[in-house]
Structure 1
Amino acid sequence: MSVVSEIALSKKSAAAEPIPLLVKLSILFTLLLIFCTIFAQWIMPYPVTGTDLLNRFAPPVLFGGNWAHPFGTDNLGRDMLSLVLRAVQVSFVIAFIGTIGGAIAGTILGLIAAWSGGIIDDIIGIFVDFQATMPFLVLALALLAVLPNANMTLFIIIMCIYGWERYTRLARSVALAAKESTFVQALAVTGTPSWRIYSLHILPNAMGVLLVNMSLNFPATILAETSLNFLGIGIQPPDTSLGVLMGIGRNHIYNAPWLALIPGLIILLATLSVSIIGDWLRDKIDQN
């Protein structure tokens, strides 16, 4: 059997490998969260602003409560299931847009650095090193303290800053390696514009690596978002997020532990599920 046939058979067997059970469960849970994010407004049993002070701290079903409030109620008598659905929607939208925005900005800067070289490459490298050494929470706190009228849009823009330098480094390294390939050099000799080479030939080759990095960076973005909201400097009431719910729940951890336990468990399972999927995708790309 030839070497080419062996490589083809190994790729075929790798592609035919069944998806592990843990990955399947992670995909199902992620799809459930995506469904809740899209349809939260229609499946909420109660308005998130609806309060019932006579029914404060009602326990969830697993703690002896009733099915009128499956997840119980909070300190204002609001239905926790409705709050959790809205919190998942807000947290996932912020994390998704933040991850996509950081990936796009970082990839563009990485390609520009590889394309231009020289002083432009050095300047972008300085910003990358600065971002890598500056703790994100410190930077976010500074921006939220300096910029007035903090709102959802500003918070999403701040989340786009998180992790962009990783995409810049990845895109730059892939582009520099591709520039040395015979194919790209042949295109340059034939007069193909640089923007066309980078957008149609180099970028598609880097998409696999960038997508895997996005799947691994997404959980970190969720944690960064929830950390800021937990500190009370992100989303403000009456709106909510998973971090906001945990911030409220910490004040009632002894008499109503479900207020912090439920959003904390969702954050744990969400980040774990996306990380498992990202690791599985990385292994599949490495095999191919």
Structure 2
Amino acid sequence: MKILVTGYNGQLGYDVVREGRKHGLDMIGSTIEDLDITNADEVTKYVHDLKPEAIIHCAAYTAVDRAEEDREIAWDVNVNGTKYLVEAAKSIQAKFLYISTDYVYEGTGDQPYTEESKILPQSYYGLTKYEGERVVQNLLENSFVVRISWVFGINGNNFIKTMLRLAESHKELKVVSDQIGSPTYTHDLAKLLINMIQTNKYGVYQVTNDGYCSWADFAKKIFEVAGSSVKVEGITSEEYPTLAIRPKNSRMSKQKLIANGFEPLPHWEQALAHYVNELKQEVQNDR
């Protein structure tokens, strides 16, 4: 199976290509240097020349705060870029898998959201990602929409790498404790996406590692696993103001995923331990 993966230079795109190749699939990872998804003609030619049997669309404008100001660019990438890719996929009858986000929900309360929960994004980033979902579902029946959250992977920057870097120069850190969600390891997520794209179980899914925590709890566990003595003080979202509103409730139910026969991802603490070991291995290999 030939699969085109956009956003190959990102955390998820990198691991999806890596995982697909482990399974003997013909994986083509594209970056902005290979393909400008906001150029309709370029997308059409690229996809028609390549003729993939499926596209996993990981590329996105993900700078959540900057999106509040760079609205035109965020829309162009997340909505128009998705539209051009979906149209190209449809013209060659390729499957399409779109990566979305917990930011499509209002982010309030304490109950897990289901795929049928009310959509009410509180940030412009969340709005553009939902509009991307609508494009996919309106234009293509053979499609998957996968909502994810709190992603970390070996390729690129993330919360864990930031915490470990800060630990080198800080003894105490203040971290938000009233935003609850599920960290998601791209290594685990990629396995599921490669499995999913080879099925015809189309629809909207929510995929994260198992279990919930706050960012502060996540930070504490990161330092524990890494053997660091940094102390974490929990603070409120109001004490750490950002341009874009962050969801306080990012809990997402995975029942639909399980009901459709997909294996749920391991607990986030297990994923974290695996990831920290992966980081250590990478450091040793660089020496």
TM-score, structure 1 as length reference: 0.25
Between the two structures, name the one with larger relative contact order (CA 8 Å, sep ≥ 6).
1
TM-score, structure 2 as length reference: 0.25
Higher strand share: 2
